[in-house]
Amino acid sequence: VSLEDHPFVTKLSTFMKLSAGDLKRLGSIFGTEKAIKKRKDLVVDGEEYRNLCLVRDGYALRYKLLRNGRRQILNILLPGDVIGFPVSFFDRSSYSVVALSDLTVNVCSIDAYVRLCLERPQFSLALTWLAIKEAAIYAERIVDIGRRTPIERLVHFLLELHSRLLTIGLAEKTTFKLPISQEIIADALGLSVPHLNRVMQHLRKEKFISNNSRVVEFFDIPALQTLAHYQPLTFTQIPLPRSGRSSA
Partner DNA sequence: CGCCCCGTTGAAATGAGTCAAGCCTTGTGG
Partner DNA sequence: CCACAAGGCTTGACTCATTTCAACGGGGCG
Q: Which residues form the interface with DNA (CB under 7 A)?
A: 149-150, 181-183, 190-195, 197-198, 200-201, 213-214
Residues recorded for the chain: 248
Examine residue 247 and tell whether it contacts its own copies (CB under 8 A).
Answer: no
Quick one: which segment of 4-12, 98-106, 174-182, 231-239 binds its own copies (CB under 8 A)? 231-239
Residue 59: name its binding partner from its own copies, DNA, none (Cβ under 5 to 8 Å by kind).
none
State the Cα angle at 165 between 86 and 152, rounded to 5°: 85
CB 84 within 8 A of CB 53: yes
Examine residue 8 and tell whether it contacts its own copies (CB under 8 A).
Answer: no
43: three-class secondary structure by DSSP = strand
Examine residue 98 and tell whether it contacts its own copies (CB under 8 A).
Answer: no
Examine residue 239 and tell whether it contacts its own copies (CB under 8 A).
Answer: yes
Nearer to DNA (CB atom), residue 92 or residue 147: 147
Q: How far is residue 144's CA from residue 124's CA, in Å, rounded to a whole number?
A: 30
Q: How far is the CB of 96 from its own copies (least distance, A)?
A: 12
The residue type found at 77 is L
User: Which one among 143, 215, 221, 223 touches its own copies, defined by CB under 8 A?
Assistant: 143
Residue 244: name its binding partner from DNA, its own copies, none (Cβ under 5 to 8 Å by kind).
none
Examine residue 132 and tell whether it contacts its own copies (CB under 8 A).
Answer: yes
Examine residue 244 and tell whether it contacts its own copies (CB under 8 A).
Answer: no
Nearer to DNA (CB atom), residue 74 or residue 189: 189
Examine residue 148 and tell whether it contacts its own copies (CB under 8 A).
Answer: yes
Pattern of binders to its own copies over 33-72, x per CB under 8 A?
-----------------x-------------x-xx--xxx
CB 103 within 8 A of CB 53: no
The residue type found at 201 is Q
Q: How far is residue 123's CA from residue 81's CA, in Å, rounded to a whole number?
A: 15
Close Cβ partners of 18 (under 8 Å, ≥ 6 residues apart): 9, 12, 26
User: Which one among 142, 173, 207, 213 touches its own copies, defined by CB under 8 A?
Assistant: 142
Examine residue 248 and tell whether it contacts its own copies (CB under 8 A).
Answer: no
Alpha-carbon torsion angle 85, 91, 92, 95, nearest 10: -30
Close Cβ partners of 32 (under 8 Å, ≥ 6 residues apart): 1, 106, 107
Q: How far is residue 135's CA from residue 233's CA, in Å, rounded to a whole number?
A: 13
Q: Strand 175-177's sheet: what is its strand order?
A: 175-177, 215-218, 209-212
Could you list the residues that contact its own copies (CB under 8 A)?
50, 64, 66-67, 70-72, 74, 85-86, 89-91, 94-95, 110-111, 114-115, 117-118, 121-122, 124-125, 127-129, 131-136, 138-143, 145-148, 187, 189-190, 229, 231, 233-236, 238-241, 245-246
